[in-house]
Amino acid sequence: MGVRIETEQGIAWITLDRPEKLNALDAETLAVLDRILDDVEGDPEVGVVVITGAGDKAFVAGGDLAEFQQLFARGDFEQILARAQVGQALTTRIERFPKPVIAAINGWALGGGCELAMACHIRIASDHARFGLPETGLGLIPGYGGTQRLPRLVGASLALDMILTGEPIDAAKAFAAGLVSRVCPAAVLKAEATRIAQAILTRAPLALSAAIAAIQQGLDQPMPGALELEAALFARIAGTHDAKEGAAAFLQKRAPRFEGH
């Protein structure tokens, strides 16, 4: 089916699993991933999501070019537009997902793979990961949000360089540019993702969702509107049981017991 999911101790591990295609995203994989996100979002036992790729070569090496070539050969431009819109809807869903989503980038993240990673809330990379948007070399441009998210993350200068030349960058440069927040040896990538996820799981679930909403929705607004959004979310969260519990635990010098309400 191209996607595997395993849940343990509050963490949903979603693995893109098409190693023979370097985990490339075809239409079925996009649809299955969306359905899995439905299940994960509604599962009260899941607090954090980690997305990674099968094998040690690629996170996701882009869209499935053979599948796209069939659409190009037929001149099916309505279907090509629809595919871009599906990819954009999925990456936007991940970007605004109410539970934290970590990308554990274990190898090549190219094209749609780089776009998928950029939609995640936290990106950690193995030291041999590589990032690129090579679509212009195929006569295309990024279509799953890459032309918009990359400059927001790394600035227009580097984004234009990467997209216009198609040249990939390594994990060290990705870290320096702010494309990823952490880099670690490949052998400990899963352990590092687990450690980060476990740290997040100690936080209040509603506060995590509100923080994601404040940041992701606020980025789309001028500062005055973004500050209004932050204040409204702050006030809403301040009235929850978990906010009261957090304050009480701090004053009592004990670990909080958050319940998600």
**Chain centre to alpha carbon of residue 239:** 29
Question: Comparing C-alpha atoms, which of 111, 124, 261 is closest to residue 183?
Answer: 124
Question: What is the β-pairing status of strands 122-126 and 182-184?
Answer: parallel
Question: Comparing C-alpha atoms, which of 215, 216, 124, 219 is closest to residue 174?
Answer: 124
Task: Give the full edge-to-edge strand order of the sheet including 122-126.
Answer: 3-8, 11-16, 48-53, 101-105, 122-126, 182-184
Q: Is 135 a catalytic residue?
A: yes
Tokens of residue 207, six digits? 């506060």
Q: How many residues does the chain have?
A: 261
Please report, in angstroms and rounded to a whole number, the separation of the first and last CA atoms in the chain.
36
CA distances for 61 relative to 30, 41, 96, 153, 177, angstroms: 14, 26, 23, 20, 21
Report the helix count and the strand count for the chain, using DSSP H and E.
Answer: 11, 10
Q: How far apart are CA 13 and CA 96, in angstroms?
A: 18
Question: Comparing C-alpha atoms, which of 10, 5, 55 is closest to residue 35?
Answer: 5
Which of the following is catalytic: 8, 20, 135, 228? 135
Q: How far apart are CA 63 and CA 80, in angstroms?
A: 12
Q: Is 192 a catalytic residue?
A: no
Backbone φ and ψ for 19, nearest 5 degrees, come out as: -60, -30
At position 234, the amino acid (one-letter code) is F
Which of the following is catalytic: 8, 45, 95, 115? 115
| Residues assigned a catalytic role | 115, 135
